[in-house]
Amino acid sequence: MVETLSTPAALRRPAWRRSPLTVAGLALIAILAVIALLAPLIAPANPLKQVLSTRLKPPSADHWLGTDQLGRDVLSRMIYGARISLLIGTVVVGLAASVGTFVGLVAGYVGGWLDEGLMRLTDVFLAFPALILAMAISGALGPSLTNAMIAIAVVSWPVYARLVRAQVLSLREREYVEAARGLGASAQRIVWQHILPNTLAPLLVQASFDMGGAILSAAGLSFIGFGTQPPTAEWGVMISEGRNYIATHSWLSLFPGLAILLTVAAFNLIGDGLRDALDPRLRGTE
Amino acid sequence: MTLLSYLLRRLVGFVGVMVGISIITFGLSHLVPADPAIVALGDHATDAQIDAFREKYGLNKPVPEQYWIYVTNLIRGDLGISLRTRRPVAEDLHDFFPATFELSLMALVLSILIGIPAGVVSATARNRLPDHIVRIVSLIGGSVPIFWLGLILIGFFYGRLGWLPGGARIDKFIPAPPTVTGLFTIDSLLAENYKAFWSSVHHLFLPALALGYFSTAIIARMMRSSMLEVLNQQYVLAARAKGLRQGKVVWRHAARNALIPTVTTIGITFGSLLSGAVLTETIFSWPGLGRYATNSAINLDFPAVMGVTLLAALIYTVTNLIVDVGYHWLDPRIHHG
């Protein structure tokens, strides 16, 4: 006879009721991704087009979020800015997670002096305050969006290396890994087919948080002149350009700042939700 | 492992990390595509001057030897000459550090004063209105761009209401107190100059609020989760069963124990405040290390940028070391293997 296991009432509820904030975060990112993809179709104007006769106009029916000091449409610049922010998050997290995962897998699986050396290397990179090192790297390579992304990835990878190494250390002693080894599987096969897939869950949680962190850091670098360069429509650049008008034309900085806040909060909510889902002991404690 | 052997092991690790940090800053300095001697001395320098500069900093020697000269100079406290201020970088750091330290300290004090009670209230009122408020405010704190928050605070409290100053360390009509510690609040109190004291506290408030919001959010979240764990412990149940008042159970029994993991967070947060100081100081025209680093990087003044980077990494590593050793000492259950 097949016994039906009764599930707790909380787990029978649909996902959006169990974790409405996570679902809200996912919805927000989905909307943002659509906006970013369809930017040329939905932006009401060219984000770079200057119309000096309509400069510094407050939000109105013609320009929903107003115009900036060069008469450019703020809403259009915000829409195009979403492209850059999502690109930054994806590239930085992709780079950092790939490098970090590789280092973590090698350190954890090989062990010994190589593990010790690689972990001390992560200690060194973790010791640098992220923005200061990123600023130094951006300064050395020259300020640009690409160099800012490289700089942020350089300071982000050690967390992934630590995370994956810790997972590998516990996984490599598991019975199924022993069995694969007993059957003569190569180290490469064991790592890629048996260990890596099981390290992905915590990586995903970290990646969600880091997407927001990368967007924040890149906007900060752009704000002080080490990231995306004007006239590109990027949220950090927009805040920087609006800073001299904060008391009189606050919308110039207000809207891009809100966009960063909402995007980063959405990624943080997704990270919280994923962490809770993957580790039910933590549910509601963070 | 005893505290002494743990301390020794950490100190060896500390030296290793510092060597690694010096290799990275040395490597970064060599990434700059310009000739450092010409950048330092300017286009009008004579060949003899350029040769003397190269000789002094070993720029004409093989890379490993250059690194060795760099490290021995570092150990002697010689971080090179700032290309922008034309002064030794070590002297610049000495002059700019107190402003950043005072700002970070004030930000940390605000974070602790707000974050810890917020976390405790949030945990004791779990899933009720105060909890929701604290969680939303913490979520915003962890997501808000610090430079944007600074601008909004300046626009509102300085631009619109005129309640608080929007930049600088002290009112321009009040002379800075005589330097003892370099911290204006402390130095003005030591000089019994209360006008200068209030002015410096006024000027500190907005930048410290902007800088401290992120750490307040982190501390509140940490305190909340740690309190939720502690509140389920049997000794808390026993305290309740004895009939102790709720306030006493929460603050005397639960919060004190929940503080231990939060202390680690506070320590790590202090190290990371320096990163935030770069942006906050730029917004608030705060004459500290962050603004110095930004202005130096804009002007490609690499000795200065590397000086700040090294100092920041040193502070972060030392803070972590102190926190870990403190944690080891505070909680006798921990035995580092």
**Measured between CB atoms, which of A124, A125, A139 is closest to B297?**
A139
pLDDT band at A16 (very low <50, low <70, confident <90, very high): low
* Termini Cα distance of chain A: 41
**Rounded Cα–Cα distance for residues B215 and B192 (Å):** 32
What's residue A15's pLDDT?
60
The answer to whether residues B206 and B153 touch, using CB atoms and an 8 Å cutoff, is yes
Which residues 217-246 of chain B have a CB within 8 Å of chain A? 221, 224-225, 228-229
3-state DSSP of B217-268: HHHHHHHHHHHHHHCCCHHHHHHHHCCCCHHHHHHHHHHHHHHHHHHHHHHH
Would you tell me which residues 8-67 of chain B have a C-beta closer than 8 angstroms to some C-beta of chain A? 13, 16-17, 20-21, 24-25, 28-29, 31-32
Give CA–CA dist B31/B294, Å, rounded: 18
Instruction: Categorize the per-residue pLDDT at B254 as very low, low, confident or very high, splitting at 50, 70 and 90.
Output: confident
CB atoms within 10 A of CB B127: 9
Residue type, A89: G
Contact A264 B21 (CB under 8 A): no
B244 and B286 in contact (C-beta within 8 Å)?
no
Interface of A with B in 231-270 (CB under 8 A): 236, 239, 243, 246-247, 250, 253-254, 256-257, 260-262, 264-265, 268-269
Give the lowest-confidence range in A67-81, A125-139, B10-24, B217-231: A125-139
Which pair of structure tokens corresponds to residue B308? 């700040």
pLDDT band at B211 (very low <50, low <70, confident <90, very high): very high
Looking at residues B194-223, what average pLDDT do you find?
Answer: 94
| Local confidence band at A278 (pLDDT 50, 70, 90 cut-offs) | confident
- Residue B24 with chain A: CB contacts under 8 Å: 124-125, 128
Q: Quote the CA–CA distance of B128 and B119 in Å, as a whole number.
A: 13
Query: If you write DSSP's letter for every residue of A191-223 in order, what string do you get?
Result: IIIIIHHHHHHHHHHHHHHHHHHHHHHHHHHHH
Interface test with B, best of A22, A241, A246 (most B CBs within 10 A): A246
Q: Is A212 exposed, middle or buried (0-12, 13-18, 19+ CB in 10 A)?
A: buried
Does residue A280 register a pLDDT over 60? no
Other C-beta atoms closer than 10 Å to the C-beta of A38 total: 11
Model pLDDT, residue B201: 95
Task: Tally the C-alpha atoms within 13 A of residue A18's C-alpha that lie toward its C-beta.
Answer: 15
Highest mean pLDDT among A247-261, B24-38, B44-58: A247-261
Q: What pLDDT sits at residue A1?
A: 40
Chain B residues with CB under 8 Å of A141 CB are 31
Residue among B93, B79, B33 nearest B300 (CA): B33
Contact map slice: A 29-88 vs B, CB within 8 A: none
CB B303 within 8 A of CB B59: no
- Would you say residue B128 has pLDDT above 70? yes
Q: Which of A15-19, A201-205, A215-219, A242-246 has the highest mean pLDDT?
A: A215-219
Side-chain-side CA neighbours of residue A144 (13 Å): 6
Q: Do A261 and B140 touch (CB under 8 A)?
A: yes
Q: Give me the pLDDT at residue B299, please.
A: 82
B249/B271 Cα distance (integer angstroms): 33
* Tokens, residue B315: 């502070």
Encoded tokens for A218: 């890149």
Q: Model confidence over A65-83: pLDDT tens digits?
A: 999 999 999 999 999 999 9
Q: Calculate the CA A19 to chain-centre distance.
A: 21
Q: What is the DSSP letter of A191?
A: I
Q: Which of B11, B126, B143 to substitute to test the interface with A, most A CBs within 10 Å?
A: B143
In whole angstroms, give the CA distance from residue A271 to residue A266.
9
Instruction: For residue A244, give the DSSP letter.
Output: G
Report how far residue B272's alpha carbon sits from residue B261's, in angstroms, rounded to the nearest whole number.
17
Taking only the tens place, the pLDDT of each residue in B262-310 is 887 887 787 778 778 889 999 999 999 999 999 988 887 888 988 998 9
Q: Which residues of chain B does A286 touch, with a Cβ-Cβ cutoff of 8 Å?
A: 221, 224-225
Yes or no: say if A93 and A207 are a contact pair by the CB < 8 Å rule: yes
Q: ∠A86-A92-A98 over CA atoms, to 5°?
A: 130
Q: Which among A223, A225, A246 is the nearest to B155, CB-wise?
A: A246
DSSP 3-state assignment of A3?
Answer: coil
Is residue B60 predicted with pLDDT exceeding 90? no
Q: Quick check: helix, strand or coil at residue A2?
A: coil
Q: Which of B139, B140, B309 sits opposite A136 (nearest CB)?
A: B309
Residue type, B218: I
Three-state secondary structure call for residue A213:
helix
Measured between CA atoms, the residue of chain A closest to residue B223 is A286
Compute the Cα dihedral for B270, B274, B279, B280 and give only its sign.
Answer: positive
Q: How confident is the model at residue A7 (pLDDT cuts 50, 70, 90)?
A: low
This prediction's pTM: 0.89
Distances from the Cα of B173 to the Cα of A142, A192, B165, B183, angstroms: 40, 67, 13, 18
**Residue B294 vs residues A217, A281, B78: alpha-carbon distances, Å:** 15, 43, 21
Predicted confidence band at A3 (pLDDT cuts at 50, 70, 90)?
very low
**Chain A partners within 8 Å of B152 (Cβ):** 246, 253-254, 257
Give the list of residues 6+ apart from residue A160 with CB closer than 8 angstroms, or none. A96, A97, A99, A100, A101, A103, A104, A203, A206
Q: Are A69 and A245 in contact (CB under 8 A)?
A: yes
Instruction: Give dist(CA B223, CA B261) in Å, integer.
Output: 8
The set of residues, in sequence order, having a beta carbon less than 8 Å from that of B70 and lying 6+ positions away, is B22, B26, B57, B58
Q: In chain A, which ranges are continuous DSSP H helix?
A: 9-12, 15-18, 20-37, 39-42, 74-110, 112-127, 130-141, 145-171, 175-182, 187-189, 196-223, 235-242, 251-278
Q: What is the pLDDT averaged over residues B149-155? A: 93
- Which one-letter amino acid corresponds to residue A148? A
Q: Could you tell me the pLDDT band of residue B260, with boundaries at 50, 70 and 90? A: confident
Is there a contact between B156 and B231 (Cβ–Cβ < 8 Å)?
A: no
Q: Is B147 on the interface with A (CB under 8 A)?
A: yes
Token pair recorded at residue B11: 């100190």
**Residue B116 and residue B217 in contact, taking contact as beta carbons nearer than 8 Å:** no
Q: What is the pLDDT of residues B195-208, one digit of tens each?
A: 999 999 999 999 99
Size of interface A-B (CB pairs under 8 A): 151
Enumerate the residues of chain A whose CB falls inside 8 A of the CB of residue B32: 140
Q: Give the position of tokens 């909680």.
A: B331
C-alpha to C-alpha distance for B179 and B136, rounded to whole angstroms = 42
